[in-house]
Structures are given as C-alpha cells and as structure tokens.
Amino acid sequence: MADNTPATPRHPRESEDPRGVGIGHERPLGSRFRGNDVEGRHRTLALGIAAAIFAFDQLTKYIVMVPLQLQRRSVMELFEIFDLRWVENRGVSMGFLTADTDFGRWLLVAMTAAIATGVFFWIWREKNRGDAIALALVLGGALGNIVDRARFGYVVDFADLHFGEWRPFLIFNVGDAAITIGVLLLLVRALLTRDKKGPRKEQ
C-alpha cells in the first residue's frame, strides 16, 4: 500500500536553493566581508608604496650626503638640464614658514606629522585604489621630509632641473616629487569624477 501519510514540511531555513546553500541561512563570512577585504588590499598596497617612497627618498639623500659629499661640493653638473645642488630647506615650501630656531623647527615637525597622520587615516578609510595610491605618494614623501627635519633641522634638497636660467621647480628631492605627483593625481581624479556626473537635462 501506498503511504498516504503527509510528509512533514521542512523548516524554511532548511530548504535549499539550486546552489546547495540553505535559503534563509546566513551568507558565508567571507562574502559578508568581501568589501573589507578589498579595502584591506588597498591599504596594504598603499602602505607598501609609502614605505618604498620613504626608503628611496632616504637612500638618495644618503648617497648625495655621504658617497658624493654634495654638501662639501655644493654643485655637481650631471646633464645640460639637470644638476645636483645642495640646498638646506628650512621652510615648508617656496620659503614659507621658514624655521630658523629650534622652536620653529619642532613646530614644523609637529605640523607636518599631524598632516601625515591625517593622510594615513585617509588611506585607512579610502575605498578607491587610485586615491589610495596617490595618498601613499604623499605619505611616503612627507615622512621622508619629517625625518630630515627631525635629524638635521632642515630638509635635504638636491635635484636641480633647469633650462638655462629658468627653473620650473625649486630645488627638490624624491619626497617632494612624490608629494607633488600624489596631489596632482588626487586633483585629476577629483576633476574626472566631477566630469563623469550626468549632464543636466535640458528644460
């Protein structure tokens, strides 16, 4: 005889979908935090770039200070448009906020360290990889200059790009270049993001 006993209905949480995952069951932990994993990879990449920029900045400064003795030579002509020229930058940029005293020196260290800390937390919360990379350039360059100011009381600048007597930039270093490139990348992305917004509908 056929068994006419009605089947006991399964609990909704125990029913299964075609993928073999119980309907009503919680999503796997990995998928729930996939977004956090992406942010974590961005942080790792950005902090790695910042560390590389910092190390390269300090290496180049060591080379011009110790093996090349640029402080004693003052100038080394390398190419028609590029020289190594010793400059002790005691200000922030373009001569502003020049610190000639110990108080001014450590005040600048504190100010730039506060900015670098803000950039670090910005990286930590940044979800866009391009922006995280740009911020990493700024952070690595800033840290290199902070270490200089704490050690020597000034930032070591040495790269002199010039066309005749015209210099498109002040004498700079690797950290300065990284900061400039990072800021420009952030500005370009901000402009592109604004331009991608849909055009206004004509009335």
Which of 25-29, 48-52, 150-154 has the highest average model confidence (pLDDT)?
48-52
Catalytic pick among 57, 131, 148, 157: 157
The answer to pTM > 0.85 is: no
Q: Which residues of 36-49 are buried (b: 16+ CB within 10 A; e: fewer)?
A: eeebeebbeebbeb
pLDDT in tens, 61-97: 999 999 999 999 999 999 999 999 999 998 765 555 6
Contact yes or no for 108/149 (Cβ under 8 A): yes
Q: Give yes or no: 176 in active site.
A: yes
Q: Give yes or no: 17 in active site.
A: no
